[in-house]
C-alpha cells in the first residue's frame, strides 16, 4: 500500500501548519511506513480513509496526537551534550546570581522546551539540585518541561526508565536520585519523588501564537529541535522565545543548530549558547 501524492500533500501541509515541520517528498516512504501502523490500529483500508478520518471532528479528537507522534522525533539522553551542563554551572548560574542576587523572593525559572521523555529536565533537576546544595544561600529554582506529544509527556511524568538508559549518569547521582525496581528480569529505575516534584510538565505546541507562560524565564534549553523547521519558522520561534526570556537570560540550542542571521536580540556567548540583550 502506497501513500498517494494527493494524500501525502494533504498530510504534509497539515503537519507543516500544525508543527512547523517540513515534510518533503523524500520523506514519503518514512511517513508511509509509520502511518501503516495507525491504519491497522484504526481498522482502516487505505491512506485516503486515514486522511478523511484524521481531518474529521472525531479524528481531530482521537487521532491527532498519534499523528503528531508519528512525525516527531523523540531522541534524547541523560546528560546529552554534557558541556552545556558544565557551562550552566560554571558560567551561566554564577552570572545570573551575581547580577540578580538570591534575595529577590523569586525562583530562577528554567524551561526544557521539547523535553521528550524527560531525560533533559531530570538531568537539569539533578544538576541544579547539586549546585544549590553547594551554595551557602542555596539556589531557588523551578523547571518547566514541555512537549507537543502527550505520549512522551506521560513517560516523562512517570519518570521510569530502562536501566540501560542511565549509563551517562554518574554513580553518585544514581545513588542519590534513582530508585531501582525489584523486577530484575526487566531492570528499571525511577526518578526519586523529590526530583520529580521539581519539574512541571505540560503540553505546548511551538506553532501556537501564544505560549501561555506567565512569568519570564531565566534559561531556556531548546536543543536539537529547530533543525526540523525551515528558516522562517526557526526565526519566528526565536522571536517568541525572546518574548519570554528575561533580559540577560540565556538560551541553549543543539550543537548542530545556529541562530546566525536572525533578527533577534540574542548575542552568542559560547558555542550554541546565546544571551538576550539587557536593553
* pLDDT band, very low/low/confident/very high, at 207 (cuts 50, 70, 90): confident
Q: Choose the weakest-confidence range: 180-184, 216-220, 232-236.
A: 180-184
Give yes or no for residue 103 having a pLDDT over 80: no
Please report the pLDDT score of residue 67 as a whole number.
83
Give yes or no for residue 123 having a pLDDT over 70: yes
Mean pLDDT, residues 47-69: 85
Distance spanning both ends of the chain, measured CA to CA: 57
Please report the pLDDT score of residue 20 as a whole number.
82
Please report the pLDDT score of residue 194 as a whole number.
95
Question: Which residues does residue 110 pair with via DSSP β-bridges, in sequence order?
Answer: 143, 219
DSSP 38-58: HHHHTT-SSHHHHHHHHTSHH
Give yes or no for residue 184 having a pLDDT over 90: no
Question: Which residues does residue 190 pair with via DSSP β-bridges, in sequence order?
Answer: 160, 179
Please report the pLDDT score of residue 74 as a whole number.
67
CA–CA distance, 154 with 149 (Å, rounded to integer): 9
Please report the pLDDT score of residue 70 as a whole number.
80
Domains, the chain, in order of start with CATH, read 5-71 (1.10.155.10), 83-276 (3.40.50.150)
Give yes or no for residue 186 having a pLDDT over 90: no
Q: What is the mean pLDDT of the chain?
A: 90
Q: Tens digits of per-residue pLDDT, 130-179?
A: 999 999 888 999 999 999 888 889 999 999 999 999 999 999 999 999 99
Mean pLDDT, residues 50-78: 83
CA–CA distance, 240 with 206 (Å, rounded to integer): 9
Q: Tens digits of per-residue pLDDT, 235-262?
A: 999 999 999 999 999 999 999 888 888 9
Q: Tens digits of per-residue pLDDT, 88-98?
A: 999 999 999 99
Amino acid at each position: 500500500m502506497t501513500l498517494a501524492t494527493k494524500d501525502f500533500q494533504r498530510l504534509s501541509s497539515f503537519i507543516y501548519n500544525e508543527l512547523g515541520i517540513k515534510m518533503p517528498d523524500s520523506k514519503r516512504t518514512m511517513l508511509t511506513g509509520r502511518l501503516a501502523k495507525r491504519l491497522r490500529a484504526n481498522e482502516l483500508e487505505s491512506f485516503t480513509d486515514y486522511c478523511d478520518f484524521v481531518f474529521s471532528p472525531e479524528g481531530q479528537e482521537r487521532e491527532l496526537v498519534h499523528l503528531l507522534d508519528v512525525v516527531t522525533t523523540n531522541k534524547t539522553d541523560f546528560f546529552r551534550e554534557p558541556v552545556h551542563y558544565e557551562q550552566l554551572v560554571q558560567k551561566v548560574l554564577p552570572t545570573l546570581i551575581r547580577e540578580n542576587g538570591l534575595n529577590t523572593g523569586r525562583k530562577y525559572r528554567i524551561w526544557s522546551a521539547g523535553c521528550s521523555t524527560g531525560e533533559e529536565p531530570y538531568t537539569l533537576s539533578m544538576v541544579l539540585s547539586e549546585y544549590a546544595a553547594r551554595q551557602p544561600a542555596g539556589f531557588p529554582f523551578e523547571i518547566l518541561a514541555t512537549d507537543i506529544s502527550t505520549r512522551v509527556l506521560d513517560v516523562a511524568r512517570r519518570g521510569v526508565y530502562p536501566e540501560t538508559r542511565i549509563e551517562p549518569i554518574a554513580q553518585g547521582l544514581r545513588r542519590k536520585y534513582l530508585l531501582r525496581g525489584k523486577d530484575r528480569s526487566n531492570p528499571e529505575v525511577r526518578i526519586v519523588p523529590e526530583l520529580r516534584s521539581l519539574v512541571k510538565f505540560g503540553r505546548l505546541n511551538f506553532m501556537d501564537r501564544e505560549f501561555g507562560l506567565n512569568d519570564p524565564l531565566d534559561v531556556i534549553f531548546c536543543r536539537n529541535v529547530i533543525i526540523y523547521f525551515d528558516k522562517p519558522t526557526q526565526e519566528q520561534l526565536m522571536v517568541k522565545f525572546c518574548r519570554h526570556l528575561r533580559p540577560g537570560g540565556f538560551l541553549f540550542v543543539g550543537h548542530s543548530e545556529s541562530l546566525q542571521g536572525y533578527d533577534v536580540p540574542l548575542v552568542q556567548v559560547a558555542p550554541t549558547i546565546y544571551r538576550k540583550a539587557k536593553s
